[in-house]
Amino acid sequence: MGAPLLELNGVGFAYPASPGHRERPFRLHDLSFAIAPGEIVGVIGPNSAGKTTLIRLLTRVLAPTAGEIVLEGRPLARWSQAELARRIAVVPQGVLPRFPFTVGELVLMGRYPHAPDRYFENPADLAAAREAMAATGVLELAALPLDSLSGGERQRAVVARALAQEPRLLILDEPTAHLDLRYQAESAALLRRLNRERGVTVLLVSHDLNLAGEICDRLLLMADGRLVAAGAPEAVLEESLLGAVFACEVTVEKSATTRRPVVQLTWRVDSPNAGAAASPTANQRR
Amino acid sequence: MSPAARLMTVLGVLAAILVLAGAAALFVGSAAISPRAVVSAVTGRAAPESVESVVTLSIRLPRILVAMLAGGALAVAGVAFQGLTRNPLAEPSVLGISGGAAFGVVIGQSVGFGPGVLEAAGLTVFAFAGALLAAGAVYLIAAAGRGFQIQTLLLAGVIVGIFFASAITVVISLLDFNRLGGVIHWLLGNLAPIPRGSLALFAGLAALGFWLVLTRARELNLLALGEESAQQLGVNAERLKLAIFIGAALLTASVVAFAGPIGFVGLIVPHALRMVLGPDNRLLVPASLVGGGAFLLLADTLARNIVAPAELSVGVITSFCGAPFFVYLLRTRYRASL
């Protein structure tokens, strides 16, 4: 493994305490890990583990209160916001813009960091946007408004917008959270193909343990603002570890087709204390 | 067609409408002056003191220029506030910003600012301060809820607008009850001709506001994705919001100081143009400048002639158009987001 693309050294973060908001302000503690170019890394963990905060730190929406984040050997704090956007692109959770932009207009927004002072995009920008739309299969949807698309198409349009940034690192925040099963499989295949064909490094932040286990080379398991475990999916998706972190009972088997670990929740619908703690679907943002 | 070519086409069409509206406004009015007399006044062949010269050059022409400027400024302010708040129904009068600016103007007048150029500059400062005050109040009220929901922001704007309208009548009543009628006329928006120096100042301030918004039109598009996404695309969101806000407040305050708080132009014009051009602010901002000028000019020509020899405030016309339009938008396009 050569020089890491991204490196976190003892990164900590604390939200300022706001009266009446939470009893204890959320903190991230001593986060250290590295991502090599070309990897697909998954970040998993229960609600309020710090996954969204991690994305905000990596894209400098927030600044760490301790430690350092280093991108391509240079501290993140020393990158300009536009430079950073040419290296790291984020596919956020599905929020639609309030104005009816078309797919083409959305994807072209990804070209902004390449020339922030340009009023209209130039032919090179248009070519890059077309290429990104072709890569995710939304080229023929370019003229349609986003709100007329299905969930899966919209997701691919947003990924195309991120690809138009020509990033080295693609961060996806719960990419399958609002998608039907069929589109979930489709986006998993898309991510793997983008990684293989374009060499894009992928950081996948997800509640979906099986999606992460299926496509990631390595998993980072977070809980309560700490990194609890890191390693190959087989090592991290382990019954007793997951049981402790998610506070519920799970079984892990090997998929017959892909030999990857498959996590199953042990349902206890009849037990009196089955409830919120065992529900991994509720999604809370910070 | 490339966006640049589309922009040029639309600007060409709107400019043609603007010129035609300007010509129409020059030829019609409550003073019966023949078209031939208007032409001779404009070309300088009529005597400077003749009725046609005075009416055409000193009354109608300045009024046309004020209408164009005010309309363009209000429409651009509308686009800016809509992008800034990510709320398609935002607009200076709906948000209560015009009301705050008007309060500033009334306070300015009550401390003795009259019609001179320097005093007009002073009034604009008061209007700008009033606009900031109103915007701050709207922000605090709307931010108290979770995030900026469309309806919360609109409600906050309406409340602040009502508050400032009441505050204005209190100030006027305390000072000089006899002036109340004139103030109500002004509060509805009144495009009375203003001195040349004031007109130049108005144009300068509006140009500054327009420049602040136009140069950030591309970033304003990105803001539609949300502040965090805009930042992740390389936009300095805090600086962008500040610049857009100052630009929009400046546009609003200068219109209120020189022509009164004319409502709904910033809603009608950007929405009509959005139906043709789509939501790209790089097209909307310049098109709104020209389109807004044409719209307010047509509205004012109507206001001057519909009940001649009396005349209506132009704000009556824009409100009669704008209020039903607002209801239409609320009930059709934005039903889902309410």
Q: SS3 string of chain B?
A: CCHHHHHHHHHHHHHHHHHHHHHHHHHCCCCCCCHHHHHHHHCCCCCCCCHHHHHHHHHHHHHHHHHHHHHHHHHHHHHHHHHHHCCCCCCCCCCCHHHHHHHHHHHHHHCCCCCCHHHHHHHHHHHHHHHHHHHHHHHHHHHCCCCCCHHHHHHHHHHHHHHHHHHHHHHHHHHCHHHHHHHHHHHCCCCCCCCHHHHHHHHHHHHHHHHHHHCCHHHHHHHCCCHHHHHHCCCCHHHHHHHHHHHHHHHHHHHHHHHCCCCCHHHHHHHHHHHHHCCCHHHHHHHHHHHHHHHHHHHHHHHHHCCCCCCCCHHHHHHHHHHHHHHHHHHCCCCCCC
- Within 56-95 of A, beta carbons closer than 8 Å to B belong to 56, 59-61, 80-86, 88-90, 92, 95
Buried b (16+ CB within 10 A) or exposed e, A119-157: eebeeebbebbbebbebbbbbebbebbbeebeebbbbbb
Inform me whether the C-beta atom of residue B218 falls under 8 Å from chain A C-beta atoms. Answer: yes
In the predicted model, what is the mean pLDDT of residues A143-172?
Answer: 93
Task: Say which range, B64-68, B120-124, B145-149, has the weakest mean pLDDT.
Answer: B145-149
**Chain A partners within 8 Å of B226 (Cβ):** 92, 95, 97
In the predicted model, what is the mean pLDDT of residues B234-253?
Answer: 94
Q: Which of B149, B233, B277 is the best mutation test for A, with the most CBs of A within 10 A?
A: B233
| Helical pair B237-259 and B97-110, crossing angle rounded to 10 deg | 50
Minimum distance, in Å, between the CA of residue B149 and any CA atom of chain A = 11
Share of chain A above pLDDT 90, in %: 58
Residue A279 pLDDT > 60:
no
Minimum distance, in Å, between the CA of residue A119 and any CA atom of chain B = 7
Among A40-49, A268-277, B34-43, B210-219, the range with the most confident prediction by mean pLDDT is B210-219
> For residue A11, what pLDDT is reported?
94
Q: Do A85 and B232 touch (CB under 8 A)?
A: yes
> For residue A26, what pLDDT is reported?
77
**Chain A nearest-CA residue for B225:** A97
Inform me whether the C-beta atom of residue A102 falls under 8 Å from chain B C-beta atoms. Answer: yes
Encode pLDDT of B192-226 as tens digits.
Answer: 878 888 899 999 999 999 999 999 999 999 999 98
> For residue A274, what pLDDT is reported?
47
Inform me whether the C-beta atom of residue A100 falls under 8 Å from chain B C-beta atoms. Answer: yes
pLDDT mean across residues, chain A: 87
Of A82, A92, A119, the CB nearest to B229: A92
Q: Do A120 and B225 touch (CB under 8 A)?
A: no
Q: Which of A211, A201, A207, A240 is nearest to A222 (CA)?
A: A207
> For residue A57, what pLDDT is reported?
95
Confidence of residue A282 (pLDDT cuts 50, 70, 90): very low
Buried b (16+ CB within 10 A) or exposed e, B138-161: bbebbeeeeeeebebbbebbbebb
How far apart are alpha carbons A265 and A247 in whole angstroms?
11
> For residue B277, what pLDDT is reported?
92
Q: Which of A120, A158, A166 is the best mutation test for B, with the most CBs of B within 10 A?
A: A120
CB atoms under 10 Å from CB of B125, counted, come to 14
**Chain A nearest-CA residue for B337:** A98
> For residue A278, what pLDDT is reported?
43
> For residue A271, what pLDDT is reported?
57
Among A30-39, B133-142, B173-182, the range with the most confident prediction by mean pLDDT is A30-39
Minimum distance, in Å, between the CA of residue B2 and any CA atom of chain A = 9
Between A and B, how many CB-CB pairs are < 8 A?
Answer: 83
Inform me whether the C-beta atom of residue B147 falls under 8 Å from chain A C-beta atoms. Answer: no
In the predicted model, what is the mean pLDDT of residues A114-140?
Answer: 94
Inform me whether the C-beta atom of residue A112 falls under 8 Å from chain B C-beta atoms. Answer: yes
Give A172's strand partners: A91, A204
Share of chain A above pLDDT 70, in %: 90
In the predicted model, what is the mean pLDDT of residues B22-38?
Answer: 85
> For residue A276, what pLDDT is reported?
47
Inform me whether the C-beta atom of residue B3 falls under 8 Å from chain A C-beta atoms. Answer: yes
In the predicted model, what is the mean pLDDT of residues A281-285?
Answer: 43
Tell me if ipTM is over 0.95.
Answer: no
Rg (CA), chain A: 19
Encode pLDDT of B323-334 as tens digits.
Answer: 899 888 888 766
Minimum distance, in Å, between the CA of residue B101 and any CA atom of chain A = 28
> For residue A250, what pLDDT is reported?
85
Inform me whether the C-beta atom of residue A110 falls under 8 Å from chain B C-beta atoms. Answer: yes
Residue A280 pLDDT > 70:
no
Task: Say which range, A232-241, A260-269, B147-156, B254-263, has the weakest mean pLDDT.
Answer: B147-156
Q: Which of B81, B84, B225 is the best mutation test for A, with the most CBs of A within 10 A?
A: B225
Structure tokens belonging to residue B281: 């602010």
How far apart are alpha carbons B98 and B29 in whole angstroms?
29
**Chain B partners within 8 Å of A92 (Cβ):** 225-226, 228-229, 232
A20 against B122, higher pLDDT = B122
How far apart are alpha carbons A260 and B130 in whole angstroms?
64
B181 against B71, higher pLDDT = B71
Inform me whether the C-beta atom of residue A117 falls under 8 Å from chain B C-beta atoms. Answer: no
CB atoms under 10 Å from CB of A256, counted, come to 7
In the predicted model, what is the mean pLDDT of residues B37-63?
Answer: 86
Residue A136 pLDDT > 60:
yes
> For residue A8, what pLDDT is reported?
96
In the predicted model, what is the mean pLDDT of residues A181-210?
Answer: 89
Q: Which amino acid is at A277?
A: A
**Chain B partners within 8 Å of A83 (Cβ):** 234
Encode pLDDT of B100-113 as tens digits.
Answer: 999 999 888 887 66
Task: Decide if B256 contacts B105 (C-beta within 8 A).
Answer: yes
Encode pLDDT of B257-289 as tens digits.
Answer: 989 889 899 999 999 999 999 999 999 999 999
Share of chain B above pLDDT 90, in %: 51
Q: Which amino acid is at B264?
A: F
**Chain B partners within 8 Å of A80 (Cβ):** 234
Encode pLDDT of A60-99 as tens digits.
Answer: 999 999 999 999 999 999 999 999 999 999 999 876 787 8
